[in-house]
Amino acid sequence: MVRVNPRSSSAGRLLAAAAACAVAFGVAWLLFVRTAPGQWIDGVLLPRAQWGGGYVQETILLGPASLVLKRFGNPLLLGLVMVAIIAVGALTRRIWAALAAVAVFACSAGAAGFVKQFLDRPELGVASSTTHNSFPSGHVAAAAALLLGILLVAPPRLRWWLAVPGTTGVSVIGAATMILGWHRFSDVVGSLLLVGTIFCLAAAALTRARDKTASASKEQADDDAVTGLLVQAIALTLLIMLVLALAPDAGVRLVLATAAVGVLTMLVVSAAIWLVRPAHQPEERGGATVPSSEWAQGSRSWRS
């Protein structure tokens, strides 16, 4: 019987996911930046301000959005988080995962800035658009990479629960960049896909030298995934409701853009957790390879 190495199959899935994210990143750039309909969609979701010609959204949320980005952009805070990730990795004997997490953050932030310098935004006659390129967003890339890095080094059973505040936080940062007019909706989308690509590549490399992790049954993994998705969806719904309650002047289009960013963030984070879930360790029985869950059920039936 042909036996499949769990690590090889996991690496294959991660590489395929990295390729899918990379292709989606390219499609998002071509659609939103290089075509008139895409530039128009960006302008519809985040219209230019009446005064000054910028994209600052005229809402009461301007102050809180500025405060969020000011706090998050503090280099000392980001440095302390990196040190904490390394410390957790050392204490839990997952130092390779911790180093991979730091690499995901550094590469994502660097790649966002590098790509932005070389991509241009053509003039396509769209009244609500400018030729200034801001694709992708460095702030959102840093936030998403920080979250995925933390999830990579965290124990598997805690990942879905950490994803709830993490997904909400990345969504808030993405919304803040749009409210302040720093970035368009497409910039946030591109950042999430860019980080997803880098994360999957790092996780695939990590499977070759990853620390030992406890195996989990398929039933337990499915239960955790369903619960995690539901809680994330509830948190996102509450966030949108809070925006509507605190800022009735935000407008439907800004709320829709924020909701779309939140949904995409939830999908990227959930896919990342699912892809790096613990492998089901097989057992051998009579020369055949049997999943551990089947072996446990068979053992119970034989004892009875």
Q: Which two tokens stand for residue 64?
A: 């809180």
Q: Can you give the pLDDT at residue 299?
A: 37
- 14 half-sphere exposure, CB direction, 13 A CA radius: 23
CA 279 – CA 156 distance, rounded (Å): 11
pLDDT digits (tens, 9 = 90+) for 287-297: 444 444 432 33
Q: Is the pLDDT of residue 111 over 90?
A: yes
DSSP 163-175: HHHHHHHHHHHHH
CA distances, 9 to each of 167, 235, 299 (Å):
27, 33, 27
Q: Is the pLDDT of residue 298 over 50?
A: no
Q: Which two tokens stand for residue 265?
A: 């963030």
pLDDT digits (tens, 9 = 90+) for 26-78: 999 999 999 999 999 998 888 765 444 467 888 889 999 999 999 998 889 89
Mean of the per-residue pLDDT values for the chain? 83
Q: Is the pLDDT of residue 203 over 80?
A: yes
Q: Can you give the pLDDT at residue 6?
A: 53
Looking at 90-94, 115-119, 144-148, 212-216, which range is the least confident one?
Answer: 212-216
Q: Can you give the pLDDT at residue 101?
A: 95
Q: Can you give the pLDDT at residue 219?
A: 55
